[in-house]
Amino acid sequence: MRLMSVLLLLVLGAGAAGCGGEPPPKPQPRSWDRDAVGYYCNMVVVEHEGPKAQIFLNGRENPLWFTSVRDGIAFSRARDEPGRILAFYVNDMGRTEWERPSDTSWIDAETAWYVIGSSRRGGMGMPEAVPFGDRERAAAFVRDYGGRVVAFEDIPDAYIFSTGEPEPVDRRGGGDGADDDPGTGSGMLRGGGDDDGRA
C-alpha cells in the first residue's frame, strides 16, 4: 500500500510539473535552405529579396518561414493562426544586404526597430516593415528611402493587414519621423497567451 501511495504521488507531481512548470526553452534561429518555403505564399524563401522572418510555435520543432517581415507580423497578430509563439526572429537589415540577406543576421522581432512607409518593397513586392537592431541605422535608412521608425508594438495594424499600397512616408533627408503617429499598433506577441485553434 505504501509503495502504491508513493507511485501515485510521483505521477501527480509529474503531471503538475507538466501543467504549470517551466516554459520550454526559447529556440535559436535557424539557417535557411531551399526547403524553407513561405508559410503564406509557399515560395522558396531564398529566392526573394528583402528581410525575412521565422517563427517557432510551441510543440513544433521547425520554424515557420515568411518571405517578408510584414507577413510574419501579420501571423503573430492574427487570432485565427495556430499555436503559441515561442520565438520570432527577423533579419537585421543594418547588418546585411537587401538583395541577399544573410541567414546569420537574425534578431528578436520584439526588440527590433522598424522602418515603415519606405520606398523599398519586401519579398513579395509589397510595402515592408524593415527591421533593424540599431535605431541609428534605421534612421539612416529613412534618410535614403523615406518612411519612419517605430517599435514593434507601434506598427499599425492597418499597415500590416492592408491589401493595397499603404501611403509612403517621405522622410528622406530629415529625421526618423518617430514622433508622427498615423495609427496605433496592436501590442506584443502572443508568446504568453493561450493556444489558438486554426480556422
**Is the model more confident about 46 or about 168?**
46
What is the average per-residue pLDDT within 129-155?
A: 98
Tell me how far apart the alpha carbons of residues 16 and 182 are, in angstroms, rounded to a whole number: 47
Nearest of 55, 180, 41 to residue 109 by alpha carbon: 55
Q: What is the pLDDT of residues 14-58, one digit of tens each?
A: 444 445 567 788 999 999 888 899 999 999 998 999 999 999 999
Under the banding of pLDDT at 50, 70 and 90, the label for residue 181 is very low
The C-alpha torsion from 91 through 96 and 100 to 104, rounded to 10°, is -60
pLDDT at 2: 52
DSSP-assigned letters across all residues of 130-193: EEESSHHHHHHHHHHH--EEEEGGGS-HHHHH-SS-PPP---TTS---TT--SS----S-STTS
Would you call 50 helix, strand, or coil by DSSP? Answer: coil
**Start-to-end CA span in the chain (Å):** 49
Nearest of 83, 94, 74 to residue 155 by alpha carbon: 74
Tell me how far apart the alpha carbons of residues 87 and 193 are, in angstroms, rounded to a whole number: 13
**Is the model more confident about 52 or about 12?**
52
Domains annotated for the chain, with CATH where assigned, are 35-161 (3.30.70.2050)
pLDDT at 24: 80
Place of cell 499598433: 185
The answer to whether residue 168 scores a pLDDT higher than 70 is no
Grid cell, residue 66, equals: 515568411
